[in-house]
Amino acid sequence: MTIHDWTNMRCSGREVIAGFTTKNGGFSLSPYQSLNTGLHVGDDAASVQKNRQVIAEETAMPLSNWVFADQTHEDHIMKVTKEQKGKGSLHYHEALPRTDGLYTSEKNMMLALCFADCVPLYFLAPHEGLIGTAHAGWKGTVKQIGAKMVDVWSSQEGVLVDHIQVVIGPSIGICCYIVDDVVIDQVKELPFPAEDVYSEISVGQYKIDLKTLNKNVLLHAGIKEENIYVSSMCTSCSDQLFFSHRRDQGRTGRMMSFVGFKEA
């Protein structure tokens, strides 16, 4: 599954490779069948490694060139260089620690994160030659990890905010995501109005639209609305395509976001 129209886009002599996997076409057995990409969910590690190899072969990028993060629902972002090649690709304990956002300017590397309802964010600055991805569950969203990526690129990499393009990938939708006051109280503390993204359905229970909330975070950070693309797909509704932590009651696999530059 490719992301928006970045795939096959040329960027300073490099080809952009980006995508989001489904649950199908792998080797894992129930309840992880079949293309589980998460090494941390209780699945047989050898099966996950084979699944990741399948994806690597599909992208024509060796798995030894992939980089994974130890996602902890925080807002730490790391710039990846060639020295991190292969980190976390075969063994979970080798993933980049306490990190939920990755970006790079290097070519022939793939950045990868795992998901099962949380919001995948993809970032591209084609003029400056930067690409990245971030993991935004509700905690990462209220910590504004998307805005933090924008700030890092702007303040540390000299990227013009007007040049940044963002894709918000498949995640659980407002149709299926119910949270309590603990979440909503933190949403209310965001530095912009957010009442339009949630509605109370019973006392202390709310439906919330995480994708739209992430879009609003990005807009507040200065990203142009025309540079933000939002997937309409709900990981909980699409039971034939995606794993869902909520729908599957916590015992399930993980999809993968991946993004990188390949030498054209």
In a domain, 15, yes or no: yes
Kindly report, residue by residue over 51-67, the tens digit of the pLDDT.
999 999 999 999 999 99
* H-type alpha helices, 66-209: 138-142, 145-157, 181-187
C-alpha 6/C-alpha 17 separation (Å) is 7
* Paired residues of 258 in beta bridges: 19, 112
The domain tally of the chain equals 1
Tokens of 230: 């939002």
Determine the residue type at 146: G
3-state helix, strand, coil in the chain (%, to 5): 25, 30, 45
User: What pLDDT does residue 115 have?
Assistant: 98
In a domain, 54, yes or no: yes
C-alpha 103/C-alpha 91 separation (Å) is 21
What residues make up the domain containing 106? 10-173+210-263
In a domain, 128, yes or no: yes
User: What pLDDT does residue 233 have?
Assistant: 97
User: What pLDDT does residue 7 have?
Assistant: 56
Exposure string for 89-118, b = 16+ CB within 10 A, e = fewer? bbeeeebbeebbbbbbbbbebbbbbbbbbb
Higher-pLDDT residue of 263 and 171 is 171
Q: Is the pLDDT of residue 1 over 70?
A: no
User: What pLDDT does residue 6 have?
Assistant: 54
Q: Is the pLDDT of residue 16 over 70?
A: yes
Kindly report, residue by residue over 79-102, the tens digit of the pLDDT.
999 999 999 999 999 999 999 999
* Paired residues of 16 in beta bridges: 261
User: What pLDDT does residue 234 have?
Assistant: 98
Kindly report, residue by residue over 138-186, the tens digit of the pLDDT.
999 999 999 999 999 999 999 999 999 999 999 999 999 999 999 999 9
In a domain, 23, yes or no: yes
Banded pLDDT at 207 (limits 50, 70, 90): very high
The predicted model scores a pTM of 0.96
* Paired residues of 107 in beta bridges: 261
Banded pLDDT at 264 (limits 50, 70, 90): confident
User: What pLDDT does residue 14 have?
Assistant: 86
User: What pLDDT does residue 130 have?
Assistant: 97
C-alpha 67/C-alpha 108 separation (Å) is 11
3-state secondary structure at position 154:
helix
Phi, psi at 236, each rounded to 5°:
-75, -40
Q: Is the pLDDT of residue 72 over 90?
A: yes
Banded pLDDT at 242 (limits 50, 70, 90): very high
**Least confident piece of the model among 13-17, 30-34, 55-59, 234-238:** 13-17
In a domain, 96, yes or no: yes
C-alpha 205/C-alpha 179 separation (Å) is 6
In a domain, 254, yes or no: yes
In a domain, 72, yes or no: yes
In a domain, 202, yes or no: no
Q: The domain spanning residue 94 has which CATH number? A: 3.60.140.10
Share of the chain above pLDDT 70, in %: 95
Residue 249: exposure state from Cβ atoms within 10 A (0-12, 13-18, ≥19): exposed
